[in-house]
Structure 1
């Protein structure tokens, strides 16, 4: 009976994917109207006339594009329990992530609609596609091992046990329906532990005897878990423990640096890898083709999309394009209106389209410089503040700097950290002190960085390399970008810039 239900669900979701792929513009127009109808009685709905059923053009003219900082006053009211501000009723759950300029963490509302119509619907779509792509693997015959974060009390309502904040993965797991919980492992009491060292060890011991067919999570932590399971089992690789393991659904960080390591940990031709683009703000896209980096944009999941060309991003009133207006190969900043009450919200990611029929994208970066090789999401504001604190502590000043991931073992992409190449006006007398303050400040400012640095499990202490005087100037001159508005990119997920400046030392 379970197989029959699952087969029916897979076929139904495949038909839905086919429908929005073939009718993208009509589907998106309907999504917008559904959002406006549901939110018409909210404060924002009344302010911007949602009850008038504005067209896409009228909607764009009425409602401003907002960053998190600009939307935060309304979000804070929602956090404090005020109903009907951005979305009907009160909101009890919030996804916490880093990357904001005005606080250690962002708090993104997660409504019942966003859970059911976005995250869970997209999860079923991913399962349906994986089953259709790899029917021989029988991924539904075993458990899905999902590795996520934790949740805790809402800091704005600490006495209200019904309101919680946490990683979006934890919010999703905590609210899963019973049938979905039956298909996954480990149990919630282990999956939601907040002490990562204990969590990894206890989960590893629990899943030793489980028939795991699918992995789901961030590569950084999954590697740590797989190694612990292999160690406990006394096995040479994970397939000796889980012979039916055949699929890894991964996201949050670029997978390229981890590919070879996963091949070593999970040898065998049966293993498949599919990428998902699941953010705190919603489940946006998924990989629907094997051996492709392109992600299918999900169009009927309660998200209405707009796209700002990067050259217009800093304009006072940037012109956002609808899906019909985008072009192949151009980079756009992603703007979302969602069934969590985010209206024309700049998520901070940039994408480019690789296909217009159906609409497929690739994630090209962030609207801000960032470091996210290990899921740490360090943004330029974090870096500048940490550099300033280290300078104050050591009595020096920085002339220029850039930072990039560093992998301490070329065969092991999970063991790494950040290399900071810094040109000082005068090098600090105690470089170790400078590095320690830099690291400590980043941990205070950024909860994701702090989690990855916990006991060096996923991220080692930063490595400081002191640049000789003029190294950055020589690099800019060699690039023909000396003077004017040209600046050294501060943070990058690639080592290309840092390695190029090292040649100037």
Structure 2
């Protein structure tokens, strides 16, 4: 056992102990966090505009600050981006995390001196919890790769600006820097496919032990390795023991990824976002991720079915129920106030509070009143794949197909890129429909009443999703294809890819 793996064990025990302390009083922890945020927020332009100086509680906050997304808060973000201090948080942010917006172009999310620790410590503590729970630490002695965006930063309004993964790259602890792959010169390559080829060249001779990234982009890396060597990834890297992922639901990718690896490896799920590092899988085998309640973020939860009401209820941790869908709202020491992150979560456990990411509040399919969410289609796909074990899925999305002919019912279209297609496509489509009908009563009613026809299954050619994302300039990095759409934009783009 090497020095790093040996030293990690007492550190992991200490971190796990510190987490247990705030877990003993999660509600009180969140109450303390909101008081601290309000004290700092009162010193800002936003705080003066919203009378945060007289606010003391979560109820005060909700009464003064409406729920808004990036577009609604853009006047404040624009002032931050222009270099004005004390707008959303005292002083200026250390960084602006640049993300791809779906409706407003690029977004610039502030990362402050206080909030950067949330991003860095969250990722570190996820690994240390794994060490503490399993006793496995040897992976720290090998080579680690974090498939990420370029760490090169530009300056906007006097503030260093770049992709979150690139910003985080500058804060990799010194003791892991020697282990980190790829090289800086490779990591700053902007073209994803060129970068991927260089990553393959650099990592092939190395004793890789940990691989991390968004599953579809990791799969591209794995496919290049297999094409280059003719061997499964687990043979190419015999010391590869731990796969760390986040950003999308892993289940649709699980079978193909592990088939490509060729043997079991442990995995950890993370819930990172430009707005904050929100949760991680702290208990191996437990799909729920521990919500990080003592990291400078005060969480609010809106029942997903009521999110678009004029004044929806804003629940605190004390009010949530298990197995309900909630839109996630953040207030944080990055200067986010009443900020709708766009994700929906479902609590799988209380005390400690653990969640799974169930979808996107704006990514739902309700062209016919069915309000299907991402978790429902992902679960239906997983169930159909269990019934058809030969099937391997690269990527998929679901869109409405509205009929212009009154005699022909409309339907859903599932656009799937298969690595291994079903032997019986009609039976697989029927299994998808059955699974979705069982999970969504509105969809079931629409099919029972012949308002909708059974779904249309469209098998896309190999590489269709990559070509589509490349056509948008969003191949690789942290970019993701939406699971669900209320229009034909994504579907038509894929048909033309």
Give TM-score scaled by structure 1 length.
Answer: 0.73
Q: Against the structure 1 CA distance between its residues 243 and 151, is the aligned structure 2 distance closer, same or farther, given a 3 Å change threshold?
A: closer
Q: Within 5 A, what are the aligned runs for 1:462-481?
A: none
In 2, are the aligned partners of 1:35 and 1:338 still within 8 Å (CA)?
yes
Matched, 1:163 2:160: yes
Deviations 1:171-225 (A, max 9, x none): 2113334334334222233223211111111111111222211111011111221
Q: Against the structure 1 CA distance between its residues 235 and 322, is the aligned structure 2 distance closer, same or farther, given a 3 Å change threshold?
A: same
Q: Within 5 A, what are the aligned runs for 1:11-22?
A: 11-22=13-24
Alpha-carbon shift at residue 15 of structure 1 (Å): 1.2
Alpha-carbon shift at residue 355 of structure 1 (Å): 0.9
Aligned to 2:107: 106
**Distance (whole Å) between structure 1 residues aligned to residue 190 and residue 355 of structure 2:** 34
Aligned to 2:344: 350
**Distance (whole Å) between structure 1 residues aligned to residue 475 and residue 162 of structure 2:** 19
Aligned to 1:410: 420
**Distance (whole Å) between structure 1 residues aligned to residue 92 and residue 71 of structure 2:** 21
**Distance (whole Å) between structure 1 residues aligned to residue 236 and residue 10 of structure 2:** 31
- Pick which of 135-144 and 345-354 moved more: 135-144
Deviations 1:450-478 (A, max 9, x none): 32299xxx999xxxxxxxxxxxxxxxxxx
Instruction: Name the SS of the counterpart of 2:205 in structure 1.
Output: coil
Alpha-carbon shift at residue 490 of structure 1 (Å): 4.2
Instruction: Name the SS of the counterpart of 2:300 in structure 1.
Output: strand
**Distance (whole Å) between structure 2 residues aligned to residue 459 and residue 327 of structure 1:** 29
Q: Within 5 A, what are the aligned runs for 1:40-59?
A: 40-52=42-54, 54-59=56-61
Aligned to 2:172: 176
Alpha-carbon shift at residue 153 of structure 1 (Å): 5.9
**Distance (whole Å) between structure 2 residues aligned to residue 377 and residue 71 of structure 1:** 32
Aligned to 1:228: 224
Q: Alpha carbon RMSD of aligned pairs, Å?
A: 3.8
Matched, 1:324 2:318: yes
Matched, 1:185 2:181: yes
In 1, are the aligned partners of 2:9 and 2:137 still within 8 Å (CA)?
no
Aligned to 1:142: 142
Q: Against the structure 1 CA distance between its residues 31 and 459, is the aligned structure 2 distance closer, same or farther, given a 3 Å change threshold?
A: closer
Q: Within 5 A, what are the aligned runs for 1:437-448?
A: none
Q: Against the structure 1 CA distance between its residues 173 and 411, is the aligned structure 2 distance closer, same or farther, given a 3 Å change threshold?
A: farther
Matched, 1:68 2:70: yes
Aligned to 1:127: 127
Aligned to 1:38: 40
In 1, are the aligned partners of 2:395 and 2:417 still within 8 Å (CA)?
no
Aligned to 1:502: none
Alpha-carbon shift at residue 321 of structure 1 (Å): 0.6
**Distance (whole Å) between structure 2 residues aligned to residue 84 and residue 134 of structure 1:** 44
Aligned to 1:240: 235
Aligned to 1:302: 296
**Distance (whole Å) between structure 2 residues aligned to residue 66 and residue 459 of structure 1:** 23
Give TM-score scaled by structure 2 length.
Answer: 0.74
Alpha-carbon shift at residue 290 of structure 1 (Å): 2.5
Matched, 1:450 2:444: no
- Pick which of 85-94 and 176-185 moved more: 176-185
In 2, are the aligned partners of 1:369 and 1:491 still within 8 Å (CA)?
no
Instruction: Name the SS of the counterpart of 1:179 in structure 2.
Output: helix
Aligned to 1:423: none
Matched, 1:311 2:316: no
**Distance (whole Å) between structure 2 residues aligned to residue 268 and residue 279 of structure 1:** 30
Aligned to 2:198: 202
Alpha-carbon shift at residue 43 of structure 1 (Å): 0.9
Alpha-carbon shift at residue 264 of structure 1 (Å): 1.8
In 2, are the aligned partners of 1:81 and 1:90 still within 8 Å (CA)?
yes
In 2, are the aligned partners of 1:252 and 1:278 still within 8 Å (CA)?
yes
In 1, are the aligned partners of 2:144 and 2:210 still within 8 Å (CA)?
yes
Instruction: Name the SS of the counterpart of 2:293 in structure 1.
Output: coil
Stretches of structure 2 that go unaligned for 5 or more consecutive residues are 366-373, 379-392, 403-408, 423-459, 492-497
- Pick which of 125-134 and 335-344 moved more: 125-134
Instruction: Name the SS of the counterpart of 2:294 in structure 1.
Output: coil
Instruction: Name the SS of the counterpart of 1:335 in structure 2.
Output: strand
In 2, are the aligned partners of 1:328 and 1:353 still within 8 Å (CA)?
yes
Stretches of structure 1 that go unaligned for 5 or more consecutive residues are 388-398, 413-434, 461-487, 495-505
**Distance (whole Å) between structure 1 residues aligned to residue 155 and residue 412 of structure 2:** 34
In 2, are the aligned partners of 1:95 and 1:107 still within 8 Å (CA)?
yes
**Distance (whole Å) between structure 2 residues aligned to residue 338 and residue 378 of structure 1:** 32
Alpha-carbon shift at residue 363 of structure 1 (Å): 1.4
Instruction: Name the SS of the counterpart of 1:450 in structure 2.
Output: coil
**Distance (whole Å) between structure 1 residues aligned to residue 216 and residue 37 of structure 2:** 36
Deviations 1:281-331 (A, max 9, x none): 111111123333221111111111000112321222222011001111221
**Distance (whole Å) between structure 2 residues aligned to residue 493 and residue 13 of structure 1:** 43
**Distance (whole Å) between structure 1 residues aligned to residue 135 and residue 221 of structure 2:** 27
**Distance (whole Å) between structure 1 residues aligned to residue 236 and residue 245 of structure 2:** 20
**Distance (whole Å) between structure 2 residues aligned to residue 20 and residue 138 of structure 1:** 29
Q: Against the structure 1 CA distance between its residues 95 and 57, is the aligned structure 2 distance closer, same or farther, given a 3 Å change threshold?
A: same
- Pick which of 73-82 and 9-18 moved more: 9-18
Instruction: Name the SS of the counterpart of 1:342 in structure 2.
Output: coil
In 1, are the aligned partners of 2:122 and 2:277 still within 8 Å (CA)?
yes
**Distance (whole Å) between structure 2 residues aligned to residue 171 and residue 98 of structure 1:** 15
Matched, 1:337 2:316: no
